[in-house]
Structure 1
Amino acid sequence: MARTTPHQHVRTGQPLHGGEPLYRRVATELLGELRTGTVPPGERLPGERQLAEHFGVSRETVRQALQLLRREGLIATDRRGSHAALPGVPVEAPAVAGFPLGAPQAGRDTVARATVAWEVPPPGHAEPLGLAPGRPTLVHRYWCASPGGREQRTAVTSFSAVTLAEVEELARYRDRADGNGAAELCRTYDWMRRAGLSLHHRDTITRIPGTPSVRVTRQVHDQHARPLELTELVMDVQEDALVYEFMVPAAV
Structure 2
Amino acid sequence: MARTTTPQRTTNPYRSPNSEDQPLYARVATLLLGELRDGTIPPGERLPGERHLAAHFEVSRETVRQALEVLRRGGLVATDRRGSHATLPGRPVEAPESLTFPVGAQSAEPCAVDRATVTWEAPPPEHARALCLAPQRPTLVHRYRSVTPDGRSLRTAVTSFSAVALAEVTELARYRDRADGATPAQLRRAYDWMRKAGLTLHHRDSITQVGDASCVRVTRRVHDQYARPLEITDLVVNAEQDALVYEFTLPAAG
TM-score for the superposition, normalised by structure 1: 0.55
Q: How has the CA–CA distance of structure 1 residues 151 and 107 changed in structure 2, closer, same or farther, with 3 Å as cutoff?
A: closer
What is the CA-CA distance between 1:151 and the residue it aligns to? Answer: 5.8
Q: Write the letter of the residue equivalent to 1:101.
A: V
Identity %: 65
What is the CA-CA distance between 1:211 and the residue it aligns to? Answer: 4.0
Q: How has the CA–CA distance of structure 1 residues 170 and 106 changed in structure 2, closer, same or farther, with 3 Å as cutoff?
A: farther
Aligned residues: 153
| Cα pair 1:94 1:187 within 8 Å, conserved | no
Deviations 1:85-112 (A, max 9, x none): xxxxxxx977442201332269933111
Residue of structure 2 aligned with 1:229, choices 227, 231, 238: 231
Spell out the pairing of 1:38-117 with structure 2 (5 A cutoff): 95-104=97-106, 108-117=110-119
Residue of structure 2 aligned with 1:189, choices 187, 191, 194: 191
Spell out the pairing of 1:122-201 with structure 2 (5 A cutoff): 122-146=124-148, 148=150, 152-201=154-203
3-state DSSP of counterpart to 1:215: strand
3-state DSSP of counterpart to 1:142: strand
1:219: which partner in 2? 221
Which structure would you say has the larger Rg? 2
Deviations 1:194-213 (A, max 9, x none): 00011000010111132400
1:206: which partner in 2? 208
Stretches of structure 1 that go unaligned for 5 or more consecutive residues are 1-91
Deviations 1:116-170 (A, max 9, x none): 0000001310011010111000000000024655661010000000000000000
Stretches of structure 2 that go unaligned for 5 or more consecutive residues are 1-93
Q: Write the letter of the residue equivalent to 1:169.
A: E
| Cα pair 2:141 2:159 within 8 Å, conserved | yes
Q: Write the letter of the residue equivalent to 1:165.
A: A
| Cα pair 1:213 1:235 within 8 Å, conserved | yes
Partner Cα distance (2:119, 2:202) in 1: 25
Partner Cα distance (1:233, 1:146) in 2: 17
Q: Write the letter of the residue equivalent to 1:228.
A: L
